[in-house]
Amino acid sequence: MKKNTNYKKGFVFKSYKAPFQTPFEVLFDIFKELITHTSGDFDEAIDWLKQLDVEYKLTTPEYTIDDFIEDLKKKGYIREEIKPDGSKGTGITAKTERAIRQSALEQIFGNIKRSGSGNHKSKGLGIGDEHTGDFRNYQFGDGLEKVSITESLRNAQINNGIGNFSLTEDDLVVEETTHKSQMSTVLMIDISHSMILYGEDRITPAKKVAMALAELITTRYPKDTLDILVFGNDAWTIKIKDLPYLNVGPYHTNTVAGLSLAMDLLRRKRNTNKQIFMITDGKPSCLRLPDGQYYKDSNGLNPYITNKCYGVAQQARKLHIPITTFMIAQDPYLMQFVEEFTKANQGKAFYTGLKGLGEMIFEDYETNRKKRIKG
């Protein structure tokens, strides 16, 4: 007699087990975080790691901090170098810089809900390789690789019959593809002294966002461009490899200098789609005058300085360059300035703390990449 077995579908819940990591991998994950906070200072990062080891027992007699440092050397993550004062020291390598960027990308972008194929697409149809499922009649100039063979043969059978089969130009159809736009982005990072004031480290999250965005663009969207600049009393560009070492300085906030440099960089780009992301926590408090002197005012909002900011925002608008401001501080009078600034540019503004900053920047980047900004 055949035994009747009923199988029921359902869920089986088990206790979570973290994926296995070697002692080196465990320490390396912590080390990447520490080296970011210490702006690339290896000795300080190791001191912090030793303190964490005392408190949380990260190592064992079989694998110590010294063993970890030796493995870092063997794997090419650190190297001996000569410090500016002439003494010997240890520094991180390009391999570590890349690992830090990848880690930042996983931390920030990994938390965002993904949809579709994970590649930027615009709403318009055009040249691309993402098929939409929509067909149109063949037009002179369409590439043969775009002709849908199956649909064209079907049309030929319908139009001419099987017995007298022939394929004509009228039977040919091509499948539409989605246009994949290119984007040129400038990321501005405020490095004025207020980015580490009030007991809050604001520069480290900004660095992480920049590293993650740089890693995303260079690996997933290589046709896009990303320029990174910092602004204090003045503004200057930095390279992606310099991001882990970025620090704040005893600077005021020259927003006009940063925006002017950003627009100069974007003027040289051939892409139609251009945008500026600005991360700042303070009010504009500095201008450089034509004679080279600095005009500074840290007391409230100075109309002379803010009007210059509004003027640059309007210039960017005329160049079809939207500015998205990520304002870390949420003081009412600063929010009013950002509102006026955004109105002058017709851009966007986000009033945010440090939590969620990366997710918002990435989501906005994705959103902007899906549309074509008319230039």
Where does the chain show beta strands of DSSP type E? Answer: 78-82, 88-92, 125-137, 173-178, 183-190, 225-231, 235-238, 273-280, 286-288, 294-296, 323-327, 348-351
295 near 286, Cβ under 8 Å?
yes
Taking the model in full, what pTM does it have? 0.75
Beta bridge partners of 189: 230, 279
Across residues 244-258, what is the average pLDDT? Answer: 96
Average pLDDT value over all residues in the chain = 84
Write down the pLDDT at residue 272: 76
- Please name the amino acid found at residue 146: K
Compute the distance between CA of residue 88 and CA of residue 79 in angstroms, rounded to an integer.
Answer: 11
Write down the pLDDT at residue 2: 57
pLDDT at residue 316 is higher than 90: yes
Environment class of 350 (CB within 10 Å of its CB; exposed 0-12, middle 13-18, buried 19+): middle
SS (H, E, C) 122-133: CCCEEEEEEEEE
Across residues 208-218, what is the average pLDDT? Answer: 90
Between 372 and 117, residue with greater pLDDT: 372
pLDDT in tens, 177-210: 655 578 999 999 999 998 887 778 889 989 998 9
Residue entry with tokens 């990174």: 228
**Percentage of residues in the chain having pLDDT higher than 90:** 53
Write down the pLDDT at residue 137: 79
